[in-house]
Chains A and B, each alone.
Chain A
Amino acid sequence: MKALITLIRIELFKIFRKGRTYIGFGAIFLIIFAIQAGIYFEGQNVFDFILQQLEQNFFFEGNLINGYLITYIVLNTLWIHVPILVALVTGDLIAGEANAGTFRLILTRPVSRVKLLIAKFLAGWTYTFLLVLFMAILGMGMGILIFGKGDLMVLKSTINFFPADELPWRFFAAFAYGMLSMTVVAALAFMLSAFSDNSIGPIIGAVAIIIGITIISTIGFSWMKTLNPYLFTSYLPGWQQFFEFDINKGKLIKSVLVQLSYLIAFLGVAIVYFRKKDILS
């Protein structure tokens, strides 16, 4: 256990000494800043336009442009970008070492390959966690600071209003679910990284797999309909379940279980393959 902790600390040290690590945090900061600035200056006009038709039948009262709405918009926007940012670091964890030739230094020392891989993944997971946490703090914290609190209106097939006092747990659960989804993305990039000696392949590969499957699933081919329930990509937007009045527990549990299955499978394949991989770089 002590050896594993040492390895995790080393891997975290390496991750946070690399410039590319901060690209993710920088990108999230810029996107959230742009969203908040846009809403601050133009939000009321856009909101009035959206509500124009609804106001014929409903009467809206209170602060609807608030920190929670900003957070909800941020969640919608960033779940597209975060997988790319996660893959940028986790896809480099193994392939980056192979590419740099540093596996020759590390693996000729008394270190277990399995432990090294576990340490690398946990370090990558820590980065993913911090990225999502940064997104949550920046989105919600700055949102509340600038726009204050209020009820959340969610437009889906129905108009759902959530009172402000129950929003903290809903957002906490949504971020926790999002964290699980991003961990699966990290595991996918990590597995591809184990197969490769160059970081570009796993990073692009992971993003291409997610986007590709999502596009094919969305087109609505009948043969895809039977596959969709078994694809992890179908569950990536599952955080939205926490913004429904009646949360379908069965559906939620299934979403979590499918994602956990993929997580274990991706990591398992990476470990089994890398344990016997010839280090030729």
Chain B
Amino acid sequence: MNKETYIELISVSKHYKKLRAVAELSMKVYKGDIYGFLGPNGAGKSTSIRMMLSLISPTSGEIKLFGKDLAHNRYQTLSRIGALIEKPDFYNYLSARKNLQILGKISKVENLSLRIDETLDLVGLLDRGNSKVKSYSQGMRQRLGIAQSLLHNPDLIILDEPANGLDPQGQKEMRQLIRDINREKGITVLISSHILNEIEQIANRMVIIDKGKSVVEGDVQELLNEGEMKVSFFVSNPSKVLQTIQSSTFAKHYVDSVEDKITLTLTHEQVPEITRFLVEKNIEVFAIKPLRSLEEYFLTITKA
């Protein structure tokens, strides 16, 4: 089944004099995705996001939103998008409610007062809606940033580092909020983050960019299962296991052994094979822990 494409970048580049911020970047975000946009600092994530939102003009290439060329359909496409870019800056001398009123009027939101209450409630700021934004903590500002992005009932929201400056609890709440927005409201989400664990936990698809170029794009779990990864086996008799492994065809996969943990480098398909092998040798396997996280994958990809 063909999924509707919400964001499509076709060979998009952005140059600042001699600096190449984004180089022929191509990617696709489908309807319903939580799409992770990963890359080291200075990889061109924010520049790419700003181009998707027409804050920056691309030097070359084409950006399509909802199947339409952004350059010629800016008004229609932006009315279906909510965005939070980098740190959430507001009119600090106004209350959250007044800020949302301004943004809602620009977006022509119907029943604005009611909608403001709904979005403030969704992000847990209903009680503080009348407080001036300058009195808000970083976490509250981030949540207000999400609220403003949802105010006009968009089909797609673009969040650039939404967990920036949040404590672990705040990051967890933010992840939950994004999941809820995606599942319950059916809103497609593009999220850029340098917190790789965050993307691993919530995104279904992702792209990794480095030096302005797309390095890899695809399904998060498929990408993680691709190639070799480190797997630790927690066993009853490590010295016996070590001997068994070193005398088998799996010897070349051995990495190290610490207390009751033996680590090997394996492909996704080899994990059940070696497990079966150990069990057949009467070795008790208490736990199997794949060690390759997105973080490791990310570092491997960007270093390559």
Contact = CB atoms under 8 A, between A and B. Distances in A.
Contacts of A257: none
A87 B87 CA distance: 29
Interface string A1-29: 00000110010011001110000000000
B103 A105 contact: yes
Contact of A110 (B50, B75, B91): B75
A100 B102 CA distance: 16
A110 B102 CA distance: 13
B57 A101 contact: no
Contacts of B107: 109-110
Given A17-B93, A278-B57, A279-B50, A104 B85 contact: yes
A108 B53 CA distance: 6
Contacts of A109: 78-79, 103, 106-107, 152
A106 interface: yes
A17 B91 CA distance: 10
Given A107-B54, A278-B57, A102 B91 contact: yes
Number of contact residues on A: which range applies? 20 to 34
B90 interface: yes
A156 interface: no
B105 interface: yes
B81 A108 contact: yes
SS of A interface (majority):
loop
Nearest to B160: A104
A7 B102 CA distance: 9
Contacts of A112: 75
B86 interface: yes
Interface string A101-130: 111111111111000000000000000000
A249 interface: no
B91 A14 contact: yes
B54 A276 contact: no
A112 B76 CA distance: 11
A280 interface: yes
A163 B80 CA distance: 65
Contact of B56 (A13, A18, A280): A280
B74, B91, B102, B152 pick with most chain A CB within 10 angstroms: B102
Contacts of B93: 17-19
Interface string B82-118: 0101110111111000000011011110000000000
A110 B75 CA distance: 5
Nearest to B87: A101
B55 A7 contact: no
B148 interface: yes
A205 B94 CA distance: 28
B91, B93, B148 pick with most chain A CB within 10 angstroms: B91
Interface in A54-109: 100-109
Contact of B57 (A10, A107, A110, A276): A276
A14 B103 CA distance: 12
A132 B130 CA distance: 34
A19 to B, nearest CB: 8
A10 B102 contact: yes
Contacts of A106: 103, 106
A109 B55 CA distance: 10
Contacts of B83: 104, 108
A102 B105 contact: no
Given A110-B75, A279-B50, A7 B106 contact: yes
Contact of B55 (A6, A14, A17, A278): A278
A104 B56 contact: no
A94 to B, nearest CB: 14
A112 B90 CA distance: 20
Contacts of A101: 86-87, 89
A110 B79 contact: yes
Contacts of A18: 93
Contacts of B148: 105
Nearest to B85: A104
A10 B93 CA distance: 14
Given A13-B102, A110-B78, A102 B85 contact: no
Contacts of A104: 55, 83, 85-86, 89
Given A6-B105, A6-B106, A280-B56, A108 B78 contact: yes
Contact of B90 (A6, A102, A103, A276): A102
Contacts of A13: 102
A247 B188 CA distance: 68
A105 B89 contact: yes
30 contacts: A6-B105, A6-B106, A7-B106, A10-B102, A14-B94, A17-B93, A100-B91, A101-B87, A104-B83, A104-B86, A105-B89, A105-B103, A106-B103, A106-B106, A107-B53, A108-B53, A108-B55, A108-B81, A109-B78, A109-B79, A109-B103, A109-B107, A109-B152, A110-B75, A110-B106, A276-B57, A278-B50, A278-B55, A279-B55, A280-B50
Would you list the 3 A-B pairs with minimal beta carbon distance, nearest first?
A101-B89, A279-B55, A110-B79
Given A105-B103, A109-B107, A279-B50, 20 more contacts: A7-B106, A10-B102, A14-B94, A17-B91, A17-B93, A18-B93, A100-B92, A104-B86, A106-B103, A106-B106, A108-B53, A108-B78, A108-B81, A109-B78, A109-B103, A110-B78, A110-B108, A276-B57, A278-B50, A280-B56
